Chains A and B, each alone.
Chain A
Amino acid sequence: SQQGEEDPQALSIQEGENATMNCSYKTSINNLQWYRQNSGRGLVHLILIRSNEREKHSGRLRVTLDTSKKSSSLLITASRAADTASYFCATPPDSSYKLIFGSGTRLLVRP
């Protein structure tokens, strides 16, 4: 099963522009995580935001969390061609240990 939806499904931007991806989820959560996947590879953890946090930064990444709307956003500033990948949000639903992934956003950054 999937926890929720991400939008857009695909995003194409020019290098240097910002990229924003949104994630919605269904159940109560302790935290929400964002992961990146290069084509045909495993996933790399980007950032974790706890349910009592509203915003978190890590380098060029900015994540927000709105638990009242059950939504999160990932902003990548000053994008680079190397940021081209698929981005997934993931949550442990109902305080479980497992991670359920959103549908993902495929980001293409054109040089």
Chain B
Amino acid sequence: GAVVSQHPSRVICKSGTSVKIECRSLDFQATTMFWYRQFPKQSLMLMATSNEGSKATYEQGVEKDKFLINHASLTLSTLTVTSAHPEDSSFYICSARDRKGIMNTEAFFGQGTRLTVV
């Protein structure tokens, strides 16, 4: 199956700093990528839809100035957690769907990033 690579897998940062997470589709083009957040033993909550060449679409309640998304190419989307605080500590996962036949196709997920803000 298609591969989505997410980096880094783990990051520990100090409160007040910013952290960038990368999501790459390795063998297909993804006009749309998705960023999720997951708390321990809970489901994935969609944060935003990343659109190549245009602004991201954020879900209700997600601060767009806090979670900056850039989708500069068909294979790369980045999520930057700005001025991180301990409550931003979570597991962040990206996913991508192939631009061809997107409606009834599966999504491919990155390995996730465990963010710990101290």
Contact = CB atoms under 8 A, between A and B. Distances in A.
A45 B43 contact: no
Interface in B79-112: 91, 93, 95, 97, 102-112
B39 to A, nearest CB: 12
B109 A2 contact: no
Contact of B43 (A2, A31, A50, A97): A2
A1 B103 contact: no
Interface size for chain B: under 10, 10 to 19, 20 to 34, or 35 or more residues?
20 to 34
Contacts of B43: 2, 88, 101-104
Contacts of B63: none
A107 to B, nearest CB: 13
B46 interface: yes
B103 A42 contact: no
Contacts of A102: 43
A11 interface: no
Given A33-B106, A35-B109, 17 more contacts: A1-B45, A2-B43, A40-B91, A40-B114, A42-B112, A43-B109, A45-B1, A48-B104, A48-B106, A50-B104, A88-B44, A92-B103, A97-B49, A97-B102, A99-B95, A101-B36, A106-B41
